[in-house]
Amino acid sequence: MSTLAINAGSSSLKFGLFKDDTFERVLTGDIDWAGGNRQQAQLTVRPRDGIIVRSRLSVPDDATAAGCAIQAVVGATPAAGNGTMTITAVGHRVVHGGVEFRASVLIDEKVKGRIARLCSLAPLHNPPALRGIEAAEAALPAIPQVAVFDTAFYTRLPPKTSFYPVPYDWFQQWGVRRFGFHGISHGYCACRAAELLGQELGKLRLVSCHLGGGCSATAIQGGVAVATTGGFTPLEGLMMGTRCGSIDPGILLELQRQPGLTPKELDRALNHCSGLLGVSGVSADLAQIEVAAAQGNKRARLAFDMFAEEVRSSVGALATAMGGLDALIFTDRIGEQSTALRSAVCDGLQFIGLRLDPERNLKARPDADIAMKDSSARILVIHSQEELVLAQEARRVADQSAARLPMENACV
């Protein structure tokens, strides 16, 4: 008996299969098109007891990617087809839950409709999530499907960090507020940091940096998110692979007045043509940008430097919001893999107690502490296990539904 987790992102689709009783990993995997080429996406399957398998495949759309992930799970676990290992629930990451969804919820047509209405707020994420849900429903009919929301982690953000300095009735009429994103990842990493440090989560001040295709940093005090770079939509905050991050809103007003760009054209430019890709002209993948910068590409170097500066500045601001810092966390593709980025971010943050050990940083493999021994604040590289959280939430909600128990705060 096992639970499947599907995590549809803007540049990859991750998946995992976990035993129902212990949540022991059966396998994990991902389909990655970080370079933007969906015709040559890389599929990686990592069985717990077996050989890692890598292959190339075409995933022209999100439904195809989800279908390929499900087929990869079934193919890698032959028992799933003969009844000795049965998929009993599926958990789906949904980036934007708006003001409606405050916790994970069993998916039905009404829930899908509400998620669809939020697509304009997360155009790179909610539509892929919906198509993944539909693909899973088609491949695994009658299996409970559960939506797990990134925004749920931020429901306790205080008003001073969740409200915008705009007319108050914008919040009352249209729900304009800061939601925050990558909450599943930040929440897991906070718990894992407490384990690594051997301290109670309730006593820690953490800044978690989720750096991948999408990027955000969050201040977590006592296990609760108190401030974040993420905003009303996943566009705000740090510059990302193809998204701009925070910019002067006056730019958009001027571009509509002068060149006469339409909202649709601006939407495409800000979501698909900006960020690391827009500045470097090379790629949305920081690894490729680092190579180009080392070869003398000035725009690639500029993109790297801008990104590092934004992350560094955000860490300082978020630490200030908590009155100090006990540990800085790096996670996701860039955070876990880029030695150069971690070094650049930490350079200049010694004033809040962060002292990076260059040798530990160079050799780091998650989960690891890469701070100097005498650093007053720790620097952690953590492998975010969003799929594990998705499976745990799917199992909890499915079990509650089967027992006809009410789901507290599931939807408001």
**Active-site amino acid positions:** 150
Residue 260 backbone class (left: φ over 0; alpha: ψ -120 to 50; beta: rest): left
Cβ atoms of residues 319 and 207 within 8 Å: yes
DSSP E strand stretches across 33-160: 41-47, 53-57, 87-94, 105-106, 145-149
DSSP character string of 249-273: HHHHHHHHHTT---HHHHHHHHHHS
CA dist 117 and 106 (Å) reads 17
Cβ atoms of residues 181 and 95 within 8 Å: yes
User: Residue 96 corresponds to which tokens in the numbers above?
Assistant: 């934007």
Cβ atoms of residues 239 and 270 within 8 Å: no
Cβ atoms of residues 42 and 31 within 8 Å: yes
CA dist 363 and 368 (Å) reads 10
